[in-house]
Chain A
């Protein structure tokens, strides 16, 4: 049963779980059709470690340190650019196998999405108790002798039009906080699924030459991104490029999010995720942190304190002294 689910969700690579020799995340038969504007020669499908590109003397693999156990295969992705309409592949990037190639635990993903849907609900329904219904203060008939059942009030719960025994009482919250490691795991799973399904695009930066929304739509058409695109960058929204924000604001299905706001629901809702390399660097550090942190709660509270009070962020290379 699970194997059927897995085949629907991700490529064959997951069934044998990271021991399979795969380098590029795409379905091999589709390379040429998927990236029609790229320069991949047909014969290079199997030798993905040394593809035939006309890139001259530049090295193709971006040197990027990925601290992962040596037995795991690192998934790889293209580093692209948004500066030209045609798809331009700058380099191949190694990714962390536990962030972009983790086992797709759909139950964890379900927990995340249920939490996101449910925790904001405030149920304001209110119904009357027997005390709040009008009337019902007097005993309807005497206790004995009438032949009828004994009652104390016409508004008790067993009566028609009576009050409810345990009614909803106004503000009921469904609020709860899913543990941070489970939320981080959910993000890793969502990103792994997106990468396996060829819906993840890594770019060097989100700078575009013009603020025309048609430019972004042309790019999406060229690169087969689909209807909805989520752009992810590591900066806060105020610092993002104005050209880009102007273009995005005019397209309903293209959205931008900072890594601070990244969540499983948005990752699944949008068809393609376009992520900057800065965001990838940060997410790898921050999401893997939760797999390595101590278990005791008193040590786990240090990270939020460091970030909020001391403005130290160990995953963005920001220490207190360097903030000056």
Chain B
């Protein structure tokens, strides 16, 4: 117990504010000299320390000064996650193991262009309605001449299917809808075009 009290007083005197050091060490001395074993309950300890406020807090004494430093905030700043979707890292070879490759660049003079999504993927999706009875493949972000694009891709998809494919073009929203499930075919075709 005496050893514990001594190590505690050493620890306390090193890290606690200087003006409380004398008071604490005197209290610890008083505890050390007691013959009965002490139950270190939190209530006993805090009652002895904080109840007698007038002894501990001396308003006339100058408060300890402190310096505010923003030096170490840079370690926090670098942990803040990026707000925008980052550019993908450069790989040695494409396609990557997951099948992704960056846009090759379409030839100049092409009347249309299909932009990638913010996550650097192709803007192709499947829409299902009426419990799956109606399935459409949607291509979005089509800049330029959307009709030429739509008809060209339609030709390719009809070849793939071997039959007619329904198409709807929404010029205003820059989207093309194809009736059926053609997501993989469309993505391959877009990659060949260089988008």
Contact = CB atoms under 8 A, between A and B. Distances in A.
Interface of A: 2, 16-19, 69, 71-72, 103, 105, 289, 291-294, 299, 302-303, 306, 314, 319-321, 324
Contacts of A303: 83
Given A2-B172, A19-B111, A292-B118, A314 B145 contact: no
Nearest to B174: A103
Contacts of B74: 321
B162 to A, nearest CB: 33
Contacts of A321: 70, 73-74, 77
Given A105-B172, A321-B70, A289 B77 contact: no
Contacts of B111: 19
Contacts, number: 51
Contacts of B144: 16-19
B85 interface: yes
Nearest to A303: B83
Instruction: Classify the secondary structure of B's interface with A.
Output: loop
Given A292-B118, A314-B83, A320-B70, 13 more contacts: A2-B172, A16-B144, A16-B145, A69-B115, A71-B113, A72-B143, A103-B174, A293-B85, A294-B84, A299-B83, A320-B73, A320-B77, A324-B70
29 contacts: A2-B172, A16-B144, A17-B143, A17-B144, A17-B145, A18-B144, A19-B145, A69-B115, A71-B106, A71-B113, A103-B174, A289-B83, A289-B84, A291-B118, A292-B84, A292-B118, A293-B84, A293-B85, A299-B83, A302-B81, A306-B83, A314-B83, A319-B77, A320-B70, A320-B73, A321-B70, A321-B73, A321-B77, A324-B70
Contacts of A314: 83
A18 B143 contact: yes
Interface string B47-72: 00000000000000000000000100
A301 to B, nearest CB: 10
Contact of B143 (A19, A302, A324): A19
B11 interface: no
A294 B84 CA distance: 6
A299 B143 CA distance: 29
Interface of B: 70, 73-74, 77, 80-81, 83-85, 106, 111, 113, 115, 118, 143-145, 171-172, 174
Contacts of A293: 83-85, 118
A221 B64 CA distance: 66
Nearest to B74: A321
A98 to B, nearest CB: 10
Most chain A CB within 10 A, of B83, B115, B174, is at: B83
A317 to B, nearest CB: 14
B143 to A, nearest CB: 6
A2 B145 CA distance: 15
A71 B143 contact: yes
Contacts of A299: 81, 83
A47 B80 CA distance: 48
A17 B81 CA distance: 36
Nearest to B84: A292
Nearest to A314: B83
A292 B85 contact: yes
